[in-house]
Structure 1
Amino acid sequence: MDLTPLRQRLLTALAGDPEGAPPWVLRLSEGDDAGYFPENGAAWTVHAGTATLIAGIRALLVQALHPGALAGVHDFSRYREDPLGRLAGTVRWVICVTYGSTEQADAETARVGRFHQQVKGTYQSTEGRAVAYSAADAELVEWVHLAFADAFLTSHRTYGGPIPGGPDAYVAEWATAGRLMRVKEPPRTADELARALESYRVRGILQGGPRVDDVVRFLRRPPVGGGMALGYRLFFAAAVATIPKELRRLLGVRRSVLPVVTLTRAVLPIVTRVLESGGPRAHDRAHERIRRVRSNASG
């Protein structure tokens, strides 16, 4: 069976390139240091797994519960006009920061920061008053980091394999990415992460509503066709299955009656084989850079 067409569709969605080798991926083999994260460590392992496909959906759903974050997406994101482009842009930042040299990671973070400087406006609170927001606000930056870290950690724990050093190692490592994005005190353990997330709900900051419903409807059935549409519906259900009940209620979603966790665990290894059926992946290029750096240091 020729897996090339499916692989190309997946790589176009994830990297914006049918071969998975846009210029920013090729640059992962360049640079003069090992980067911000230990080779084959917790962040490398979590972000290399195909459970990230589910984590991305989960992160977008949970992030939408903060009205400021939702307003930024509604007012500035091109997710409706170009959902795959929006996804590829997020993937680019994650991959460059995780596997790139510090120079590449810093440049990519600066690129995202320049865009965030433009993201500002107002939204209506539940009381009907106008509230100013900016993507650079400390609370919004923290919320996005928390929702991201929780989504990727929870998805990997549910659908992936072991994490070197365990969940705390991932949270501690990914705190570096939080600091790069100017999060003042990112959590460093899984318990700290869970408490920080829950504090937003307890303080009444998170809320549902028509805009959230609109995002959920779009994320439930985005404009993808063919076999990818069937797979995406499974991954959406898999993401919902990992979201706590209180947040599912705000999102207006329910867990599927189907055994989606079992089905997803069966499907993800197939997706892994599809993606690995072609050329080098991002972490392979990072390994290449690190071997060169070590060789130069020892020679």
Structure 2
Amino acid sequence: MVLSALRRRAGDSLFARVAGPDGPAARARIHETPGPRWFEPGSPVRIVHGDASMFVGGLRALLLQALHPAAMAGVAGHSGYKSDPWGRLARTSTFLAVTAFGTADDAQAAVDRVRAIHERVRGTSPEGVKYRASDPDLLRWVHVAEVDSFVAAHRMVGARPLDEAGYDEYVAQMATVAERLGVVGAPTTTAELAEQIEAYRAELRASPQARDTIDFLLHQPPVPWTLRLPYRGLTASALVSLQPWARAMVRPGEAAPRRDARARRAGRIVTRLIRWSLAATPDAPRPATTRPAAEPSPA
């Protein structure tokens, strides 16, 4: 009884943090409104986005996206990631949920809102870098960094990783969302995804704004002290899942195999705890269970 109550409180608290105060109402609308969806039940996008690995993937995406000076300038100037980090998280998680699980009409409306916001986001960074959020090249960077991160995290800590064909299908499904957002030439396979990430390397660096964001994410997280240890488990696994060159930009230093193995284990432990707590929360998303591959062996 005590354990069940603790589990329920933990799940309620986590869901409230991630989904915001309107989370229960938003979930009801997303999952219970009748109508056609962009993606069928059991599709890879639903499997990936319904898994706790998204906590690792989301952190990894922010770290990787920060390495593009123009993208970082837009985030620093317009997103409010420091003044309202939980609000930004709730908006992002709701968009991902609506496009993966919501009705086609609601998904399109969410895309239209984001495109309207992108049209207003433009300016110049303190270093003189001009940016425009609706720039197709910049949109594609944000997209590929996000998708690459969700795939990498799901491979590493997902409850039921997909096979290679499943991840290719996930990338292709996400490309359809990206095209609606204005991305041109979004990758449709993991091989194309890797090629496009590599093509951006010459533009990437740890700018002062990026370093400030990375420090905020890794060392000044907007979480209570009681959650600092599991948060460190998520960030550690996010770091170790980055490409070696990106990881060197985010946190310079030599790789340490034993430390990396501990980071992977920490990520698996924390995501399992997240699944355990959310399983007791009626308003939490439920991960899909089709097309599984073998559970990854412990590092």
Could you tell me which residue of structure 1 aligns to residue 277 of structure 2?
A: 274
Q: Which of 267, 274, 294 matches 1:264?
A: 267
SS of 2:125's equivalent in the other structure is strand
**CA separation in 2, counterparts of 1:265 and 1:282?**
19
Is 1:16–1:84's contact at 8 Å kept on the other side of the alignment?
A: yes
Among the aligned pairs, what percent are the same residue? 32
Hey, what does 1:112 align to over in structure 2?
114
Aligned residues: 275
Unpaired segments ≥5 residues, structure 2: 288-299
Alignment-derived partner of residue 94 in structure 2: 92
Read off the aligned partner of 2:19 and give its amino acid letter: A
For structure 1, list consecutive stretches of 5 or more residues without a partner in the other structure: 285-299
Q: Deviations over 1:145-169 (max 9, x none)?
A: 1011000011000111222742111
1:206 paired residue among 201, 204, 226: 204
Instruction: Tell me the alpha carbon deviations over residues 106-157 of structure 1, each in whole angstroms, 9 at most, x when there is no partner.
Output: 11111212222221001366xxxx3421100011110011011000011000
The answer on 1:183 being equivalent to 2:187 is no
Structure 1 residue 31 displacement after superposition: 3.8
Counterparts of 2:223 and 2:270 in 1: how far apart (Å)? 18
In 2, Cα distance between equivalents of 1:182 and 1:116: 10
Distance in 2 (CA, whole Å) between partners of 1:109 and 1:170 is: 18
> Matches of 2:131 and 2:273 in 1, distance apart?
42
Tell me if the contact between 1:99 and 1:283 (Cα under 8 Å) persists in the aligned partners. Answer: no
- TM-score, length-normalised on structure 2? 0.87
Decide whether the 8 Å contact of 1:163 with 1:170 is kept in 2. no
Distance 2:35 2:173 in 1: 21
Distance in 1, matches of 2:7 and 2:276, equals: 9
2:293 is aligned to none
d(CA) in 2 for partners of 1:264, 1:64: 22
CA contact (8 A) 1:213 1:252 kept: no
Letter in 2 for 1:167: Y
Match of 1:159 in 2: 157
Which of 44, 47, 67 pairs up with 1:45?
47
Measured at CA, do residues 253 and 26 of structure 1 come closer, stay the same or move farther in structure 2, by a change above 3 Å?
A: farther
1:85 aligned partner, one-letter code: G
Q: Judging changes above 3 Å, is the alpha-carbon distance between structure 1 residues 190 and 26 closer, same or farther for their aligned structure 2 residues?
A: same
| Residue in structure 1 matched with residue 292 of structure 2 by the alignment | none
1:218-254 per-position Cα deviation (integer Å, ceiling 9, x unaligned)? 0013121133221111101110010011111222355
Query: Does 2:9 correspond to 1:5?
Result: yes
Distance 1:144 1:86 in 2: 16
* Separation in 1, partners of 2:161, 2:227: 27
Cα distance in 1 for residues equivalent to 2:250 and 2:50: 28
Deviation at 1:17, TM superposition (A): 3.0
The letter for the 2-side match of 1:57 is: L
Aligned partners of 2:54 and 2:153 also within 8 Å: yes
- 1:292 match: none
Equivalent residues of 1:240, 1:253 under 8 A apart: no
Distance in structure 1 (CA, Å) of the matches to 2:269 and 2:251? 27
Counterpart in the other structure of 1:67: 69
What CA distance in whole angstroms lies between the structure 2 residues aligned with 1:112 and 1:251? Answer: 28
> Residue in 2 aligned with 1:295?
none
* TM-score, with length taken from structure 1: 0.87
CA contact (8 A) 1:51 1:159 kept: yes
Cα shift readout 1:64-92 (whole Å, capped 9, x = no counterpart): 11111100011111111111111111101
- Aligned-residue Cα RMSD (Å) equals 1.8
